Chains A and B, each alone.
Chain A
Amino acid sequence: MKLFFYPRLALRNIRKNAKIYIPYLLTSTFTVAMFYIIHSLSINGAYDDMTVGARTLPIIMELGTYVVIIFAIIFLFYINSFIIKRRKKEVALYNILGMEKKHIMYMMFYETLITSMFSLIVGILFGVVFSKLLFLILIHMAHISTPFDFVIPMESIIRTFLLFIAIYFISYLFNVLQIQLANPIELLRSSQSGEKEPRTKWVMTLLGLVTLGGGYYIAQTIEKPVEAMLLFFVAVVLVIIGTYCLFTAGSITLLKILKRNKRFYYKTRHFTSVSQMIYRMKQNAVGLASICILCTCILVMLSSTVSLYITVQDSTNMIVNEQLRITLMSSEGKNITEEVNQIYNKSLKQFEMNDIQIKTIVKKECYFASGSYFEKNFTIGGYNDDKYTGITAMSLDEFNQAFHQKQELKDDEILIACNFENIKDHLTINGKTFKVKSVVDEPYFLTQKYSNIEKDMTVVFSSDKTLNKSLFNEEYSAPTMSHSISIDFEDIEDSEKALEIVRSHIPSNMSMYNQSQFEMQNEYFEVFGSLFFLGIFLGIVFLMAAILIMYYKQLSEGYEDQKRYEIMQNVGMSQKEVKQSIRSQVLIFFFLPLIVAAIHMAFAFKMIVKMFSFLVLSDISLFVWCTIISIAILAIIYSIVYSLTAKVYYKIVKVE
């Protein structure tokens, strides 16, 4: 009997404290499962079979693994410290009833053993079951076609065991230390001795307002995407500081101002809430601020990864207009027009033979150069500023041939297309002014038709001679002519085959450069698909953490408020008023972080759009919707947990 005494006692303790242990077991199991899943996804052998380029996915998953590790450590320690705080009194009672600290240590050891084994075994089981499903989802989201080869990696199981046993063991040591250090009388005496009312901290409040305002200001005024990348972090840090300051000091300042307003304060509905909130804020402000930041992270992550993922196709269209663009150049600086024509004709024949249906194809000879453009004035050369513009130039003959046109141009006339400004009347090139005869709107005429980052224009001159004379001069190295073939297929998947065909005809003295929407899309799908997956995955993990912290906070608050509500009911507060008071407080407590997170998101919005326009995010209204939907989902889940928590809380404080 003695053999099983401690395990049995431990099991009974866990059952008796179900209110705090069940959520703990759930979370701990969930965390184990999440870690196992993300780790197994990051090392899955199936990736080895994938094409050479497809290596970003495991890297992104590995990144996720680290986030989950850090998170698991912080989170499980936090909950453990909460549990031990709540159970100190009980432990002290055992101590006084004659259990030595040694025995208590045994008891707690078995408690830890039971809970950790439960979490590990059930967690890994769940992990194994769901990792298969999630693997399929991930592969699908990343548009990866791989021979299905799903295994249960032993390494993940071992890693999971090691990590979590270490976490549980350290928390056990922490608990033992807590018990060793305290004496039973201290443990028994609840800390009911009144607390000082917190002071108003004007300096911190002001600091919070200034930093938050500064962060918001930066977020609103950022103009350049590259600048945004740098300033982004400044803004984030400022907003985080501001959030912490305002939650800790600002909330109390606000409540104190409310309290000073006698007509507001001495109202039945405000009286108890305001005075209790002051104390609650003092204890919980840091936690709430953390949850607020966490919620903001979830929102940013979800909305941006979702919209990046959804817009992959538009994004690739933005970078290249055509499905396949092949650019050929002589590596020896010779004229290769003839050879290119041969390659072109041979390839066309082979396309037909291989049943590759072509929608549109355009072959053109042109010159590429770059310079600076300012108020209808283009000068070749000069980089590194916001006037930087790329230019593509071709002769009228080439233009007419490539686009099947019969245009005529005088020497001082040009045809033009431009992706950043509508140049209609005239343009000065290197000091010489040309009349714009018409604006061209042919497909593939402009290299970067839809880009909102790179400025680009294409100009047609009356002849090669005018072109060379006007655009280039001796100061710059001789212009290189390049040949480009732009193809749109009936079926985009043919682009790979077509590319291979063209490549087989390229001689060694020619260099080839190609941009394929198909390839790009695959790459983007992999990157954004796995980011999207990770965004949802981590979003769920963070959300669970935020909710659980709330739950535990409310629970401990409930125990502290028990006496208070009893007094108020004795003095004549009705059950209904108690319920109302609880509801409004729990409501503020729960939704304050979420609301502030939504405000943060609103201010960050512009900055994120700018930042991602660098990573090609084309559809802003889609991003708005993704954000709104993310907030809505968060709010719904939050509301469910809120109503559950409010019920538990009310049960605790209710006077029979």
Chain B
Amino acid sequence: MALLEVKNLKKVYSTRFSNQQVQALSNVSFTVEEGEYVAIMGESGSGKTTLLNILASLDKTTSGQVLLNGRDITGIKEKEIAEFRRKNLGFVFQDFNLLDTFSIKDNIFLPLVLSKEVYPIMNQKLKVLAPKLGIEDLLEKYPYEISGGQKQRVAVARALITHPQVVLADEPTGALDSKSTDQLLEVFDKINDEGQTILMVTHSTKAASYAKRVLFIRDGEVFHQIYKGNQTNQQMYQSISETLTLLAAGGK
């Protein structure tokens, strides 16, 4: 059984003051196996952010199902959503979303504290995780004292510390310089090698070229997908570029 199964997902927005309806997702279906590293690409307005929000249970579907380990997450009650999200999903955002009132350490602890974990265990988890992400020296600092790349690695640590089933990343390299981007993508590679399932929405061909599989979305549908297989990052980059060109040209 696949870890994540998306079936016939449809999302229609209706604006508040008119009857005009906007179809963000028309019919999206795909599956993600455990341990996969999937990138979702598409132009602005293609519906990829809507898709991620639905996967993150931040948004409701109009119709269709999203199964995580066989459980339909679209049917989870409002009350349980926060807990579900905390236990099963890890998030990495474009603009880091670190809280400036917390130290780095406390930012990483936040989801654990919300899950009522005791301090010694939290600390234990952090001790294992921090060296992998190269943030051991930052723990006592505050977000305003560290660079963007460091912030994003901290955000990754926060996403990973709950051992989520899936890490959802929304344009994780969007606010980073090229060097930080490389570092972050290597971190993603490494954690994926250790078995972490990652689902990433991105504009960046380079970021996508690190993924094992790339889904292309256009006009609210999965338009195409390519597997990395044995290709190097360079070759993968090439294939993605070609597909994007094709997509832009409007071919089928």
Task: Please list the residues of chain A having a beta carbon within 8 angstroms of any beta carbon in chain B.
Answer: 193-197, 262-263, 266-268, 271, 275-276, 278-279, 564, 567-577
A570 to B92, CA, bound (A): 10
CB of A647 to closest CB in B, whole Å:
20
Bound together, the chains give a CA A279 to CA B101 distance in angstroms of 7
Binary contact track B91-135/A, C-beta < 8 Å → 1, others 0: 101000111111100100111011111110010000000000000
Beta-carbon contact of B86 and A194 below 8 Å: no
B92 CB → nearest A CB, Å: 11
A275, B106: Cβ atoms closer than 8 Å: yes
Q: Measured between C-beta atoms, what is the minimum distance from B172 to chain A in Å?
A: 14
Query: A107–B238 Cα gap in the complex (Å)?
Result: 56
The verdict on B191 contacting chain A, using a C-beta distance below 8 Å, is no
A–B Cβ pairs within 8 angstroms, 5 of them: A268-B116, A564-B99, A567-B97, A572-B114, A575-B78
Knowing A263-B119, A268-B116, A571-B86, say if A276 contacts B101 (CB, 8 Å).
Answer: yes
Determine chain A's interface SS by DSSP, over half rule: helix
Q: Is B82 an interface residue (CB 8 A)?
A: yes
Known: A267-B113, A275-B106, A564-B101. A195 touches B144 (CB 8 A): yes
In Å, the complex CA distance between A417 and B142 comes to: 77
B102 adjacent to A275 (CB under 8 Å):
yes
Q: Which residues of B contact A (CB under 8 A)?
A: 56, 58, 78-79, 81-83, 85-87, 89, 91, 93, 97-103, 106, 109-111, 113-119, 122, 142-144, 158
Specify which chain B residues have a CB less than 8 angstroms from the CB of A573 in the assembled complex: 82, 114
Give B125 Cβ to nearest chain A Cβ, in Å.
12
| Contacting pair A572 B111 (CB below 8 A) | yes
Q: Which of B93, B99, B106, B142 has the most CB of A within 10 A?
A: B99
On whether the beta carbons of A570 and B91 are closer than 8 Å, the reply is: yes
In the complex, what's the smallest C-beta–C-beta distance from A140 to chain B, in angstroms? 54
Chain B residues whose CB sits within 8 angstroms of the CB of A263 once the complex forms:
119
**Can you name 12 extra interface pairs (CB under 8 A) apart from A266-B119, A268-B113, A572-B115?**
A195-B144, A266-B117, A267-B116, A271-B114, A568-B110, A569-B82, A571-B110, A571-B158, A574-B79, A574-B83, A575-B82, A577-B82
Contact of A576 among B79, B97, B118 (CB under 8 A): B79
- Choose among B85, B101, B119, B143 the residue with the greatest number of A CB atoms under 10 Å from its CB: B101
Which chain B residues lie closer than 8 Å to A570 at the CB level?
56, 58, 91, 93, 97
Contact A194 B143 (CB under 8 A): yes
- CB-CB < 8 A to B117: which residues of A? 266
Q: Which of A193, A267, A268, A571 contacts B91 (CB 8 A)?
A: A571
Tell me, rounded to whole Å, the shortest Cβ–Cβ distance linking B140 to chain A.
11
Chain B residues with Cβ below 8 Å from A571 are: 86, 91, 97, 110-111, 114, 158
Which residue of the partner chain A has the closest CB to B122? Answer: A266
B82 touches A278 (CB 8 A): no
Q: Would you call A574 and B101 a contact (CB within 8 A)? A: no
Query: Inside 8 A of A276's CB, which chain B residues have their CB?
Result: 101
Interchain nearest-CB distance for B166 vs A (Å) = 14
Q: Quick one: given A271-B110, A279-B101, are A572 and B122 in contact (CB under 8 Å)?
A: no
How many Å lie between the Cα of A400 and that of B93 in the bound state? 102
Q: How far is the CA of A577 from the CA of B79 in the complex (A)?
A: 11
**In the complex, residue of chain B having the shortest beta-carbon distance to the beta carbon of A276:** B101
Q: Contact at B119–A568, with CB atoms within 8 Å?
A: no
In the bound complex, residues from chain B placing their C-beta under 8 Å from that of A267 are 113, 116
A197 to B101, CA, bound (A): 7
- Interchain CA distance A567-B110 in the complex, whole Å: 11
